Amino acid sequence: MRSLDTANEVFRALSNSNGEVTGHDIPPGLYQAISTHPYGPWKTEVVEFLIGKAPAIVKLTIEPMATNGLGDVVWVGPRRPELRLRFVDAAGKPAAMVSFLVRDSEAEHWFWSKSNDKGEMTFRSDDWQLLDPRGGVTIVVPWKGRLVKTDLTREAMAAGRKSGKRIAIQLESGATP
Residue 176 resides in a domain: no
How far does CA 100 lie from the centroid of its chain? 9
How far does CA 142 lie from the centroid of its chain? 12
Q: Choose the most confident range, by mean pLDDT, from 26-30, 71-75, 108-112.
A: 26-30
Q: What is the pLDDT of residue 4?
A: 93
In 10 A of CB 149, how many CB atoms? Answer: 14
Is the pLDDT score of 65 beyond 80? no
The domain tally of the chain equals 2
| Domain range for 21 | 1-66
Share of the chain above pLDDT 90, in %: 23
Q: How far apart are CA 46 and CA 60, in angstroms?
A: 7
Task: Evaluate whether 135 touches 103 at the Cβ level (below 8 Å).
Answer: no
Is the pLDDT score of 134 beyond 80? no
Mean pLDDT of the chain: 80
- The helix/strand/coil state of 63 is coil
Whether 20 and 48 share a structural domain: yes
Is the pLDDT score of 74 beyond 60? no
Whether 41 and 118 share a structural domain: no
Using 50, 70 and 90 to split pLDDT, how confident is the model at 80?
low
Whether 33 and 89 share a structural domain: no
Is the pLDDT score of 70 beyond 50? no
Residue 175 resides in a domain: no
Q: How far apart are CA 11 and CA 33, in angstroms?
A: 10
Residues pairing with 32 in the sheet: 2, 48
Is the pLDDT score of 9 beyond 70? yes
CA angle 126, 132, 135 (to 5 degrees): 130
Torsion of CA 74, 76, 82, 83, to 10 degrees: -20
User: Who wins on pLDDT, 10 or 43?
Assistant: 10
Q: How far apart are CA 158 and CA 21, in angstroms?
A: 38
CA angle 19, 30, 85 (to 5 degrees): 110
Q: Choose the most confident range, by mean pLDDT, from 19-33, 81-95, 96-110.
A: 19-33
User: Who wins on pLDDT, 40 or 112?
Assistant: 112
User: Residue 133 maps to which CATH number?
Assistant: 2.60.40.10
The closest of 177, 134, 141, 128 to 155, measured between CA atoms, is 134
Whether 53 and 115 share a structural domain: no
User: Who wins on pLDDT, 172 or 151?
Assistant: 151
Residue 71 resides in a domain: no
Is the pLDDT score of 17 beyond 50? yes
pTM of the model: 0.61
Residue 14 resides in a domain: yes
User: Who wins on pLDDT, 76 or 168?
Assistant: 168
